[in-house]
Structure 1
Amino acid sequence: MTTIDDLRDVPAGREDDGFGALRTERGNLPLHRLDLRATITGLTAGIELIQGFRNPHDVPLEATYVFPLPDRAALTGLRMTAGDRVIEGVLEERASARQRYDEAIAAGQRASIAEEERPDVFTLRVGNILPGEQVTVALTLAGPLSFADGQAEFRFPLVVAPRYIPGAPLPGEPVGDGYAPDTAAVPDASRITPPVLLPGFPNPVDLSIEVRLDPAGLPVRALASSLHAVSESDAVVRVRPGERVNRDFILRLTYDESASALALTPDAPRTPATGAAATDGAATDGAATDDAPAADLGEGTWRLSVLPPEPTAPARPKDLVLLLDRSGSMHGWKMVAARRAAARIVDTLTDADRFAVLAFDSVIEYPDALPKGLAAGTDRNRYRAVEHLARLDARGGTEMFGPLQEGLGLLADPSRDRVLVLVTDGQVGNEDQLLREVATAGERSGGVRIHAVGIDRAVNAGFLGRLAAYGSGRCELVESEERLDEAMERIHRRIAAPLVTGVRLRAEGLELVDGTAAPARMPDVFPGVPLVVAGRYRGPAAGKLILTGTDAAGDPWRVEVPATAVDAPASAAIWGRAHLRDLEDRYTVTADGALEREIVATSLRFGVLCRFTAYVAVDARVVTEGGTPHRVTQPVELPSGWESPSPAAPGGAPMTMAAFALGGAAPRARMHRAARSGATPAQPKAPVSPPRPPTSLPPASLPSASLPPQPSLAGPQASMSGPAADDPGAEAILAELAGREAGALRASAELPPARRAELLDDLASRLDAQATWLASGPLAGALRDLVEALRDAALPLAERWDRALATLDRLAAGDSPTGDAPAAGDPAAADPAAADPAGGPAAPGSGGSGSGGSSPAAGRRKGAFWRPR
Structure 2
Amino acid sequence: MALCCGLVSEKNVPVPLKSICVQLQVRGHVSSVRATLQYVNEEERPLEALFVFPLPAEAALCSFSASVGGQDIRGELRDKQTARDEYDDGVSAGRQVFLLEESDQSADVFRLSVGCLPAGGAATVSFTYSTELTVEEDGGLRYCLPAVLNPRYTPAAATGVPQVCSASVIPYSLSLTADVRSSVPIARLDCNCALEPLQFLDPQHTHAQVSLSAGHRFDKDVELLLYYVDPHQPSAVLEGGAATAPAGSLMADPLLMLSLYPEFPAAVMSSLTSHGEFIFLVDQSGSMDCPMHHGEGAQMRIESARDTLLLLLKSLPLGCYFNIYGFGSSFQAFFPQSVLYSEQTLQEALQRVKLMRANLGGTEILQPLQHIYSQACVPEHPRQLFIFTDGEVWNTRELLDLVRANSSSHRCFSFGIGEGASTALIAGMAKEGSGHAQFITGSDRMQPKVMQSLRFALQPAVEELCVDWRLPEGVAVELLSPPVRSLYQGQRALLYARLRGQSSAESDGAVMIKYKLKDTPVTNQLQFTLTPAGDTGLTVHWLAARTLIRGLEQEERVGGAEAEALRSRIVELSVECGVSSTHTAFICTHTHSGETVKGPLLQRNIPVPQMMACHGAPRRMMCAAPMARCSSRALPKMVCDSAMSPSRKLKSARVSHHSVPVGLVECDSASTHEPDLRQDPLLQLVSLQKASGSWEMSSALSAVLEKPEEELRKHTPPQADGLLWATVLSLLWLFSCKLQDRVEWQFVALKAAAWVRAQNQAGVAECVRNGNLLLDCQLTAETLGI
For this structure pair, what is the TM-score category when the shorter chain's length is used for normalisation? 0.7 to 0.9
Are the aligned partners of 2:628 and 2:635 in contact in 1 as well (CA < 8 Å)? Answer: no
Partner of 2:672: 715
Are the aligned partners of 1:211 and 1:237 in contact in 2 as well (CA < 8 Å)? Answer: yes
Taking the aligned partners of 2:119 and 2:555, their CA distance within structure 1 comes to 45
SS in 2 for 1:608: coil
Partner of 2:578: 607
Q: Which amino acid aligns with 1:381?
A: T
Question: Residue 248 in 1 paired to residue 213 in 2?
Answer: no
Partner of 2:440: 478
Taking structure 1 as reference, are residues 106 and 468 closer, same or farther at Cα in structure 2, changes over 3 Å only?
A: same
Partner of 1:413: 378
Give the share of equivalent positions with the same residue, in percent: 23
Give the unaligned 5+ runs of structure 1. Answer: 6-16, 171-179, 182-192, 271-290, 648-655, 676-680, 701-709, 718-869
TM-score under structure 1 length normalisation: 0.66
- Once the two structures are TM-superposed, the CA of residue 712 in structure 1 deviates from its matched residue by 6.8
Are the aligned partners of 1:265 and 1:302 in contact in 2 as well (CA < 8 Å)? Answer: yes
- Once the two structures are TM-superposed, the CA of residue 498 in structure 1 deviates from its matched residue by 4.7
Partner of 2:313: 346
- Once the two structures are TM-superposed, the CA of residue 451 in structure 1 deviates from its matched residue by 0.8
Partner of 2:261: 307
Partner of 1:319: 277
Aligned pairs for 1:208-223 within 5 A: 208-214=175-181, 216-223=182-189
Match of 1:457 among 392, 397, 419: 419
Match of 1:121 among 105, 109, 117: 109
Aligned pairs for 1:20-419 within 5 A: 24-25=10-11, 27-117=13-103, 118-148=106-136, 149-168=138-157, 170=159, 180-181=160-161, 193-197=162-166, 201-214=168-181, 216-226=182-192, 228-234=193-199, 235-257=208-230, 258-270=232-244, 291-294=245-248, 299-310=253-264, 311-313=266-268, 314-316=271-273, 317-332=275-290, 333-367=300-334, 371-395=335-359, 396-410=361-375, 412-419=377-384
- Once the two structures are TM-superposed, the CA of residue 347 in structure 1 deviates from its matched residue by 2.4
Taking the aligned partners of 2:523 and 2:646, their CA distance within structure 1 comes to 52
Question: Residue 535 in 1 paired to residue 497 in 2?
Answer: yes
Note the aligned Cα RMSD (angstroms): 3.4
Are the aligned partners of 1:194 and 1:633 in contact in 2 as well (CA < 8 Å)? Answer: no
- Once the two structures are TM-superposed, the CA of residue 631 in structure 1 deviates from its matched residue by 1.9
Q: Deviations over 1:671-711 (max 9, x none)?
A: x9799xxxxx9x9996246xxx99948999xxxxxxxxx99
Partner of 2:682: none
Taking structure 1 as reference, are residues 35 and 414 closer, same or farther at Cα in structure 2, changes over 3 Å only?
A: farther
Taking the aligned partners of 1:140 and 1:638, their CA distance within structure 2 comes to 23
Taking structure 1 as reference, are residues 93 and 418 closer, same or farther at Cα in structure 2, changes over 3 Å only?
A: same
- Once the two structures are TM-superposed, the CA of residue 48 in structure 1 deviates from its matched residue by 0.9
Taking structure 1 as reference, are residues 512 and 126 closer, same or farther at Cα in structure 2, changes over 3 Å only?
A: farther
Taking the aligned partners of 2:222 and 2:582, their CA distance within structure 1 comes to 25
Are the aligned partners of 2:263 and 2:524 in contact in 1 as well (CA < 8 Å)? Answer: no
- Once the two structures are TM-superposed, the CA of residue 475 in structure 1 deviates from its matched residue by 0.3
Are the aligned partners of 1:645 and 1:694 in contact in 2 as well (CA < 8 Å)? Answer: no
SS in 1 for 2:196: strand
- Once the two structures are TM-superposed, the CA of residue 209 in structure 1 deviates from its matched residue by 2.2
- Once the two structures are TM-superposed, the CA of residue 584 in structure 1 deviates from its matched residue by 1.8
TM-score under structure 2 length normalisation: 0.72
Aligned pairs for 1:618-657 within 5 A: 618-621=589-592, 622-625=594-597, 629-639=601-611, 641-642=613-614, 645-647=617-619
- Once the two structures are TM-superposed, the CA of residue 583 in structure 1 deviates from its matched residue by 2.1
Q: Which amino acid aligns with 2:66?
A: M
Taking the aligned partners of 1:146 and 1:643, their CA distance within structure 2 comes to 31
SS in 2 for 1:196: coil
Taking the aligned partners of 1:458 and 1:694, their CA distance within structure 2 comes to 28
SS in 2 for 1:162: coil
Partner of 2:555: 586
Taking the aligned partners of 1:106 and 1:666, their CA distance within structure 2 comes to 18
Match of 1:546 among 501, 508, 512: 512
- Once the two structures are TM-superposed, the CA of residue 244 in structure 1 deviates from its matched residue by 4.0
Taking the aligned partners of 1:527 and 1:694, their CA distance within structure 2 comes to 50
Are the aligned partners of 1:105 and 1:628 in contact in 2 as well (CA < 8 Å)? Answer: no
- Once the two structures are TM-superposed, the CA of residue 294 in structure 1 deviates from its matched residue by 4.2
Taking the aligned partners of 2:647 and 2:511, their CA distance within structure 1 comes to 51
SS in 1 for 2:267: coil
Taking structure 1 as reference, are residues 635 and 263 closer, same or farther at Cα in structure 2, changes over 3 Å only?
A: closer
Partner of 1:434: 399
Q: Deviations over 1:228-278 (max 9, x none)?
A: 3333342443334554434321111222224323333231212xxxxxxxx
Are the aligned partners of 1:108 and 1:128 in contact in 2 as well (CA < 8 Å)? Answer: yes
- Once the two structures are TM-superposed, the CA of residue 329 in structure 1 deviates from its matched residue by 1.6
Give the unaligned 5+ runs of structure 2. Answer: 200-207, 291-299, 653-666, 675-786
Are the aligned partners of 1:267 and 1:298 in contact in 2 as well (CA < 8 Å)? Answer: yes
For these two proteins, the number of residue pairs brought into alignment is: 618
Q: Deviations over 1:606-654 (max 9, x none)?
A: 111111111111122234345873221213333253557544xxxxxxx
SS in 2 for 1:412: coil
Are the aligned partners of 1:419 and 1:449 in contact in 2 as well (CA < 8 Å)? Answer: yes
- Once the two structures are TM-superposed, the CA of residue 666 in structure 1 deviates from its matched residue by 12
Are the aligned partners of 2:36 and 2:127 in contact in 1 as well (CA < 8 Å)? Answer: yes
Taking structure 1 as reference, are residues 392 and 20 closer, same or farther at Cα in structure 2, changes over 3 Å only?
A: farther
SS in 1 for 2:238: strand
- Once the two structures are TM-superposed, the CA of residue 595 in structure 1 deviates from its matched residue by 1.4
SS in 2 for 1:231: coil
SS in 1 for 2:642: coil
Partner of 1:517: 480
Q: Which amino acid aligns with 2:15?
A: L
Question: Residue 563 in 1 paired to residue 520 in 2?
Answer: no
Taking the aligned partners of 2:12 and 2:591, their CA distance within structure 1 comes to 30
Taking the aligned partners of 2:324 and 2:348, their CA distance within structure 1 comes to 11
SS in 2 for 1:563: strand
- Once the two structures are TM-superposed, the CA of residue 364 in structure 1 deviates from its matched residue by 1.8
Taking the aligned partners of 2:133 and 2:148, their CA distance within structure 1 comes to 20
Partner of 1:739: none
Q: Which amino acid aligns with 1:138?
A: S
Q: Which amino acid aligns with 1:581?
A: R
Taking structure 1 as reference, are residues 407 and 643 closer, same or farther at Cα in structure 2, changes over 3 Å only?
A: farther
The worse-fitting range, judged by mean Cα deviation, of 346-355 and 237-246 is: 237-246
- Once the two structures are TM-superposed, the CA of residue 344 in structure 1 deviates from its matched residue by 2.5
Are the aligned partners of 1:355 and 1:376 in contact in 2 as well (CA < 8 Å)? Answer: yes
- Once the two structures are TM-superposed, the CA of residue 596 in structure 1 deviates from its matched residue by 1.1
Partner of 1:813: none
Taking the aligned partners of 1:615 and 1:47, their CA distance within structure 2 comes to 17
Are the aligned partners of 2:250 and 2:577 in contact in 1 as well (CA < 8 Å)? Answer: no
- Once the two structures are TM-superposed, the CA of residue 147 in structure 1 deviates from its matched residue by 2.2
Are the aligned partners of 1:645 and 1:713 in contact in 2 as well (CA < 8 Å)? Answer: no
Taking the aligned partners of 1:431 and 1:297, their CA distance within structure 2 comes to 30
Are the aligned partners of 1:109 and 1:128 in contact in 2 as well (CA < 8 Å)? Answer: yes
Q: Deviations over 1:72-129 (max 9, x none)?
A: 2211111211231111111222222223323333333222111011321001111121
SS in 1 for 2:444: helix
Taking the aligned partners of 1:223 and 1:411, their CA distance within structure 2 comes to 47
Q: Deviations over 1:824-869 (max 9, x none)?
A: xxxxxxxxxxxxxxxxxxxxxxxxxxxxxxxxxxxxxxxxxxxxxx
